[in-house]
Structure 1
């Protein structure tokens, strides 16, 4: 998935995915993120998993700091124990994810790849 000159990129899964066994203290979301220049991220950046399709309903989300990124590919591990929840997401039926960055500067290129959940 590529985010270019936009504030967010969203993807709806063809079939819902059950991640309930991973949403535990040792569970985490892994995602590969390419950013051409992290300095172009000028506002808050969030990653959402939802069961409703709406980031304001039934979502698990993480706030990402600009300093977490370097230019090029970044392997990001997002532990579930530091995530936030909105309105009790159905973790047995995740069907939507969104990468959202507020007010990126012109020229920002963001590519998402290799997303999965795992336990230590």
Structure 2
């Protein structure tokens, strides 16, 4: 599992929810390890993956591309990716990348998809 990532799964007979807290940058250097982590998570075939970005410090184009790839892989299986609590800086990056209409972004813990 990638450094700077905590994963918690809520499971029954299927995996309804996997929550991931990213505490480091999602950048070119981190993408290979994060991709491996998400591949492992997606092998559980979750119904929903929530990525908590509250402690994430940075996001570059490679990171946006990886999040879009995770979204596409989940969408194909009828599942949902939610980005939770992005900092104002990360929200601006996501807005500039024009992915807000593709990725589900929840402002805080209280918002549900």
- TM normalised by structure 1 equals 0.26
Return the structure number with greater strand share: 1
Which structure has the higher relative contact order (CA within 8 Å, separation 6+)?
1
Return the structure number with greater helix share: 2
Rg larger in structure: 1
